[in-house]
Structure 1
Amino acid sequence: MTTKREVIRRPASLPQRMYEIHTLFHQFLNELQSRSPAIELPGYWIPNIDIYETNAAVVLEIEVPGITPKDFDFTIDGDLIRIKGEKRQEIQEEGSSFRRLERRYGMFERILRLPAEVSEHKVGAIYQDGILKITLPKKASEEQLF
């Protein structure tokens, strides 16, 4: 007596190879890390920051509309920069209530590793059109001194 064998095909959406649990966990962590700037707590927000490097300096451009320069503070410690600030909510008229509140208010703090050693002297900061631009001159290397 012969039995007929049926071919069972996997749907195309299923992975064709088995993943090990640590691979899936690493994929999850990478996805979480890529989305972390979107995770915000009430009374705390995270501004977007671009960092680029020129021959002479490291430049940070921080997107912080509605904040005055006196609301910022930054410190440099080795190859780390700590940027702090606060965006204050305007006082609303008495008797009014919000129907929708999408803008973020509150404190922020970012600690970033700089791509090069910078000098803490002659740091430049310009605030224009909602962008805080911090220019950090690079430290002179040993080769440049001789």
Structure 2
Amino acid sequence: MRRVERHAWLLAEAIEWLQGAGRLQRQFFQLGRSADLPVWEPPVDLFGDEQALCLLIALPGVTPERLDVRLEPQAVVVRGERSLASHLASGAILQLEIPYGRFERRVPLPYDDYRVADMLLQHGCLRLILERMS
């Protein structure tokens, strides 16, 4: 096999893999799924010690009105919805990598007695500070 043919074959294989990955992503992040079921989980960073925890949750494009944060025994639950911007909905989707729709993330906590000391949604991230009560 000549070098040029081998590069063309490798490029064709790479494109096929990328197209397959795109199909899987679209299948996983389907728009229009049941309104009761979350369709994606935002990534979370968790830092802390025995007294307090800091959670940083990536929520690009989520407004405070579409966000709900609840403390449960030994977990914090963040849920809401990221809507497709109305000015984008009229055109054809050429690429869609940032998930839209309902989301939910349940983060286990090491203890079950926390209170929300601070909550800030800024620059596409939610920062939660949880203080231990006892």
Specify which of 12, 29, 34 is matched with residue 41 of structure 1: 29
Deviates more, 1:65-74 or 1:96-105: 96-105
Instruction: Mark the structure with the bigger radius of gyration.
Output: 1
Tell me by how many angstroms 1:55 deviates.
4.6
Specify which of 125, 130, 134 is matched with residue 136 of structure 1: 130
What is the distance in 1 between the residues matched to 2:69 and 2:47? 17
State the match for 1:66 in structure 2: 61
How many aligned positions are there? 101
Query: In percent, how many aligned pairs have the same letter?
Result: 26
Tell me by how many angstroms 1:139 deviates.
1.8
TM-score (norm 1): 0.60
Question: What is the RMSD computed on CA atoms of the aligned residues?
Answer: 2.3
Change (3 A) 1:93 1:75: closer
Consecutive unaligned residues of structure 1, counting only runs of 5 or more, are 1-38, 141-146
State the match for 1:84 in structure 2: 79
Tell me by how many angstroms 1:111 deviates.
1.5
TM-score (norm 2): 0.64
Structure with greater proportional helix content: 2
Structure with greater proportional strand content: 2
